Structure formats: structure tokens, C-alpha cells
């Protein structure tokens, strides 16, 4: 890596992390969540981006060389069909196979009667979430994987092994790709790790939205217990995949937990009590969370204020930017707000005006990150992306920037302060088969180091837990 490129990387990283700290960098950073847009700019179809992840990586590299961005997700085309097709999942329409090659992937929500979790299965999920995912959810969500008690076929075995190998291949490819972003483009990452709310998980992948809304009225106590049972596992995935340097926030994709998708009391009594403790525990562990507030969450801004200062960065989609600034900006950094419709069919001058207004209203005191309201797909016009970047540079400078102390981080971990607020029962998070169970299967005493045998077992077993929870959360 050249000294010039490393200096560019460090300058961008400091600009971005300063804004995440809700302070004033040298100028407003640009952090685009650019997905299929990268393919439009670099000349790839949506099918290429989705089915062949090296093309998605190359498209991002090309964009980072052509646009003066400050931080990017390594790839926002996150559904690689090498994993989903190997597992035979039913809930995606794949570009080039199920939808035209120039359109992004589609999520197919099953009908109420075909939900992957039935209304009478809450107790089974509550008792053992990891086992439920393996024995019930994945077989129903897959065309090839057998349910517990069904005959195990050749295709079943191949689907499980191929999907796990594909996931390992995909995740391992991100290290070299991020190294290229740094060495060739001087580009830092934007997020690390993944989190979703327990109630959203029930609605997205288990009961379906219609089934969940019925359950909130007919069996609310079961919904609450299910959310509580999911909490420690979702916290484990978020913490295990977070940035160890505590510089980049964990991505929290907020779906249908807000009014009007749920009633205000359902947010207050179910959604928020099973999210807030996780966010606070992640913050104690040194990790900020990015609230990517898809849709309109204005009704819940007062609840978000309950979180510790700087523990989140709040992304504005359909919410009111001025209201969000008034309610949250004294505590948290903000991002987003540029209308995706303007980026798609507006003029560069219209984009410039939106960017200028956002900077003048949200970014005067620092703690603001420029981005579109929602993920940028292939309808974003390249000329409008260029206008967004140029206008941010023109209007987003600060005369007296803040200087962060070294080491550069959002928050150091507070060792020994675990409150136990994200605890569960039954099979622990990150575990499929506990060592005690494996130890009982041995025909005799351990003849060497049991500590070594247990350590190796736990590490391998955790891979099985990560696989199934990543299938639920990410793919």
C-alpha cells in the first residue's frame, strides 16, 4: 500500500469516526449504502452482482475509485445466491432466474397459511430457539432440507454441507476485499456486524407479518416470551460479528416494528423492551449500533432518547429530518435523508439543493453523515450520485473541527460490567451441542487434555450456531 493511499484511508476514517461520535470533523463525510447502483456504474447486471459476488466486489472497488466517498459497506448486495440456492431457500426471487437479470432480488413473503412457523409452535421456539431453527424453520424455508423425523436424503445432506461451505467461502472473501478497498482505494468500512429486533425476526422469517399481527392480539404473552428467548442469540450474533476495534457501528436493519405496522402499546410493551437491553449491552461491550430506520419511526424518537449518549447513530429514511434533529441530535449522530426518488429521477441541481438543505439543517454542529434515505439500487443515476458528493464537499466543510483522542474509537469496552440483562435459558447462545453432552458420548475417560478437546469442540460447534443464525438474519 502506498503512503498516499494509507494517508487517504486514515483521513477518511478519522472523518467518519468523528461524525459517529457526534462531533465535528473537517467536513461532512459521505457514506453511501450503494447496492445495485454499483453495478449500474461499473457495468454489471443485477444477476451478476447477486449470483457472482466477485463482480459485486469489483463494482464496489470501481465506485470507490471513481467517487470521493469516505466510508462504504464492503458490499450492500448482501444476498449471495451461492448460499441461498445451495440451501434451496424459498423466500428469494433471484435476478436472472426468477426475475429479469436487470432487477434486484425480491423477497417472497409466504402466505399466512404457509408461514415457516405455525401459531401453535411458540412453546417449541421459546424452549430452544437454535434447535427450532434447525429442526423446523430451515426445513420449511428450504426446498431440499428434511424436517426432523423425515428421511435424510442425498439432496438434504448436500444442501446443508454446500450451504455451510458457501457461507464460509463468502465470509472469508470479505477480508481480502476489505484489504483491497484500503490499499487500492483508501476506503474504510462503514459497518461491521448485524442485528435485528426479535419482533422483526418473528415477522420477517418465522410467522410472517400477518401471522405476527394476529398473534399480538390473540397470544401476546407467547410473542413476548418468544422475543425474550431470541434476545440472547441475537445479541451473541451482533457482538460476535462486531468491529473489534470499536470504530464501526453494528448494522441494525429496522423493518416493521413501528407505528402503523404495530400499535403504540405493542411497540412500548414488546418491541422496545426486547431491543433496548441488547443495544445497551452492546454499548457496554464497546459497540455502537446503527439504527437504519427503514420507513417512518418518528413516533418512537422519544423512546430512542432513553439510550446512552453516542450509543447509536440514527439513519433517517421516511422520517422528518427536522423533527429527528430536534429530538435526537444532542445525543446521537444522524445520517441519511436524501430522497431516493430524487436520486433516481431528479436532476443534479435538485440533488444539490436537498444536500445543501440537509447540511444546513442537520449538519451545522457536526455529527451528520451524508447518505440516501434508503439503500441505493440500480435506479440511482450516476450523475446524481456525483452531484451528491460534490455538493457535500462544497457545503459540508467545518471551520473548527473537533480532534478525537487516540486510539480512534467510538467507545472502549467496559470490562466486567455485564449486567445480565440479555440472558436466556435452555441452550446457550453460540452453542448447538454443549461439551457436557459431547463428553457423555465418549466410551471412556479422556486420556489426554480435556481442556484442549473441549476448546476445539466448542470452536467447531459455534460454527454450527453461527451458520443457522446467519441464515435467519442475513440470507
| 3-20 and 154-185 helices, crossing angle to 10° | 110
What would the pLDDT profile of 306-328 be if each residue is shown by its tens digit? 999 999 999 999 999 999 999 99
Confidence (pLDDT) at 427: 87
Please determine, for residue 419, whether its predicted confidence score (pLDDT) is greater than 50.
Answer: no
Confidence (pLDDT) at 1: 73
Confidence (pLDDT) at 148: 84
Confidence (pLDDT) at 415: 56
Beta bridge partners of 206: none
Residues 327, 301 contacting (CB under 8 angstroms): yes
Please determine, for residue 458, whether its predicted confidence score (pLDDT) is greater than 80.
Answer: yes
Q: Which of 53-67, 101-115, 224-238, 251-265 has the lowest mean pLDDT?
A: 101-115
Confidence (pLDDT) at 424: 67
Confidence of residue 110 (pLDDT cuts 50, 70, 90): confident
Confidence (pLDDT) at 210: 95
Tell me what the mean pLDDT of segment 170-180 comes to: 97
% of the chain beyond a pLDDT of 70 = 98
Confidence (pLDDT) at 421: 59
- At residue 259, φ and ψ (nearest 5 deg) are -65, 135
What would the pLDDT profile of 369-400 be if each residue is shown by its tens digit? 999 999 999 999 999 999 999 999 999 999 99
CA-closest candidate to residue 106, choices 119, 91, 124: 91
Confidence (pLDDT) at 75: 96
Tell me what the mean pLDDT of segment 404-413 comes to: 84
Domain ranges of the chain: 3-474
Residue scoring higher pLDDT (175 or 410): 175
C-alpha cell at position 403: 480532534
Confidence (pLDDT) at 146: 93
pTM of the model: 0.95
C-alpha cell at position 328: 435526537
What number of other Cβ atoms are within 10 A of residue 470's Cβ?
17
The chain-wide mean pLDDT, for the chain, equals 95
Q: Is the dihedral of CA 353, 359, 361, 362 positive or negative?
A: positive
CA-closest candidate to residue 226, choices 262, 198, 206, 268: 198
Domain 3-474 has CATH 1.10.10.10: no
What number of other Cβ atoms are within 10 A of residue 326's Cβ?
11
Amino acid at each position: 500500500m502506498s503512503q498516499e493511499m494509507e494517508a487517504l484511508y486514515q483521513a477518511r476514517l478519522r472523518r467518519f469516526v468523528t461524525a459517529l461520535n457526534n462531533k465535528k470533523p473537517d467536513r461532512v463525510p459521505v457514506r453511501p449504502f450503494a447496492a445495485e447502483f454499483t453495478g449500474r456504474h461499473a457495468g454489471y447486471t443485477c444477476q451478476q452482482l447477486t449470483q457472482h459476488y466477485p463482480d459485486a466486489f469489483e463494482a464496489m472497488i470501481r465506485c470507490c475509485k471513481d467517487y470521493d466517498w469516505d466510508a462504504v459497506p464492503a458490499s450492500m448486495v448482501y444476498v449471495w445466491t451461492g448460499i441461498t440456492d445451495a440451501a434451496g431457500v424459498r423466500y428469494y426471487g433471484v435476478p436472472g432466474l426468477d426475475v429479469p437479470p436487470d432487477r434486484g432480488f425480491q423477497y417472497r413473503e409466504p402466505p399466512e397459511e404457509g408461514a415457516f412457523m405455525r401459531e401453535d409452535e411458540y412453546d417449541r421456539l421459546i424452549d430452544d430457539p437454535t434447535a427450532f431453527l434447525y429442526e423446523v424453520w430451515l426445513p420449511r424455508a428450504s426446498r431440499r432440507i428434511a424436517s426432523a423425523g423425515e428421511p435424510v436424503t442425498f439432496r438434504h445432506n448436500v444442501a446443508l454441507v454446500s450451504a455451510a461451505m458457501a457461507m464460509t467461502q463468502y465470509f472469508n472473501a470479505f477480508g481480502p476485499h476489505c484489504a483491497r478497498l484500503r490499499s487500492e482505494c483508501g476506503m474504510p468500512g462503514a459497518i461491521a456486524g448485524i442485528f435485528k429486533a426479535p419482533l422483526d425476526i418473528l415477522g420477517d422469517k418465522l410467522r410472517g407479518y400477518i401471522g405476527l399481527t394476529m398473534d399480538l392480539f390473540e397470544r401476546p404473552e407467547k410473542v413476548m416470551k418468544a422475543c425474550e428467548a431470541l434476545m440472547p442469540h441475537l445479541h451473541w450474533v451482533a457482538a460476535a460479528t462486531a468491529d473489534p476495534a470499536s470504530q464501526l457501528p453494528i448494522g441494525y436493519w429496522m423493518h416493521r416494528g413501528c407505528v402503523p405496522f404495530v400499535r403504540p402499546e405493542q411497540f412500548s410493551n414488546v418491541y422496545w423492551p426486547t431491543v433496548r437491553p441488547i443495544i445497551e449491552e452492546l454499548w457496554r461491550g464497546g459497540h455502537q449500533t446503527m439504527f437504519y430506520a427503514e420507513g417512518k419511526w418518528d413516533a418512537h424518537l422519544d423512546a430512542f432518547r432513553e439510550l446512552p449518549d453516542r450509543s447509536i447513530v440514527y439513519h433517517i429514511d421516511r422520517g422528518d429530518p427536522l423533527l429527528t434533529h430536534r429530538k435526537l441530535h444532542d445525543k446521537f449522530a444522524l445520517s441519511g435523508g436524501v430522497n431516493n426518488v430524487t436520486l433516481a429521477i431528479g436532476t443534479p441541481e435538485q440533488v444539490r439543493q436537498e444536500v445543501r438543505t440537509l447540511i444546513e439543517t442537520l449538519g451545522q454542529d457536526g455529527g451528520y453523515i451524508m447518505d440516501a434515505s434508503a439503500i441505493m439500487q440500480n435506479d440511482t443515476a450516476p450523475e446524481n450520485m456525483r452531484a451528491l458528493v460534490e455538493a457535500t464537499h462544497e457545503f459540508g466543510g467545518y471551520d473548527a473541527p473537533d480532534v478525537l483522542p487516540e486510539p480512534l474509537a467510538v467507545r472502549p469496552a467496559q470490562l466486567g460490567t455485564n449486567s445480565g440483562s440479555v440472558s436466556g435459558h435452555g441452550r446457550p447462545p453460540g452453542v448447538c451441542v454443549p461439551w457436557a453432552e459431547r463428553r457423555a458420548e465418549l466410551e471412556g475417560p479422556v486420556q489426554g487434555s480435556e481442556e484442549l478437546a473441549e476448546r476445539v469442540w466448542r470452536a467447531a460447534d459455534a460454527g454450527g450456531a453461527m451458520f443457522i443464525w446467519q441464515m435467519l438474519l442475513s440470507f
